[in-house]
Amino acid sequence: MRKNLFSLAAALSLLCSSCGTSNLYPVDGKLTCDGVPAAGAAVFFRRQGGDPVNEPSIMGITQDDGTFELVCGSLGKGAPPGEYDVLIEWREGSGNNKGFAKRVPDKLRGRYADSRHPLLHVTLEAQSNHLPAFEISNAGLPAKR
């Protein structure tokens, strides 16, 4: 029993240290696709060399104008400083499901969501981070069927 409690305490301390509220700094940015705001896209930040299973999810959802703010799991707005890969999914009809989850295709066909071969990277500093706009493209993607 004591060993289990120690293991649980150790795991919780690792989670808290990777994204503790005192270690979060505001992060905002903008996402456009072929020059147009990518409204409703999910922007995920994954720490380079981190363990995606044991670290809180850091993500933002783009607004109608393409802007987003990052949130670190249930810990609040912002992200810890470090080197990150940026992954993007932009689902057809995002935000229009009215509470019903349904599987819809990624408008970007996974091009920007491959965690093994991320196309976008960013460094976050221990300060407010106003990121330059991410400009992505649908050019060269196969036509919809």
pLDDT single digits (tens) 111-122: 999 999 999 999
pTM (2 d.p.): 0.77
Is the CB of residue 85 less than 8 Å from the CB of residue 120? yes
Please report, for residues 90, 130, 137, the alpha-carbon distance to residue 141 in angstroms, rounded to integers and kept in the order given: 14, 30, 9
Instruction: Say if residue 7's pLDDT is above 70.
Output: no
Residue found under tokens 């509220």:
21
Instruction: Say if residue 13's pLDDT is above 70.
Output: no
Cα–Cα dist 64/38, whole Å:
7
By C-alpha distance, which of 85, 79, 94 is closest to 37? 94
For 53-102, what is each residue's pLDDT tens digit? 888 899 999 999 999 999 998 889 999 999 999 999 999 765 554 545 56
Consecutive H or E run containing 8:
helix 2-18
User: What pLDDT does residue 145 have?
Assistant: 44
For residue 106, name the pLDDT band (cuts at 50, 70, 90): very high
Cα–Cα dist 71/138, whole Å:
26
The stretch 112-141 carries a mean pLDDT of 94
Angle at 90 between CA 111 and CA 107, to 5 degrees: 65
The stretch 3-31 carries a mean pLDDT of 62
Instruction: Say if residue 22's pLDDT is above 90.
Output: no
Q: Kindly list the structural domains of the chain, giving each domain's residue range(s) and its CATH number in brackets, ordered by start.
A: 2-136 (2.60.40.10)
Cα–Cα dist 60/79, whole Å:
11
At 76, give phi and psi (nearest 5°): 120, -175
Instruction: Say if residue 29's pLDDT is above 90.
Output: yes
In the three-class reduction of DSSP (H, G, I as helix; E, B as strand; rest coil), residue 75 is classed as: helix
User: What pLDDT does residue 27 have?
Assistant: 98
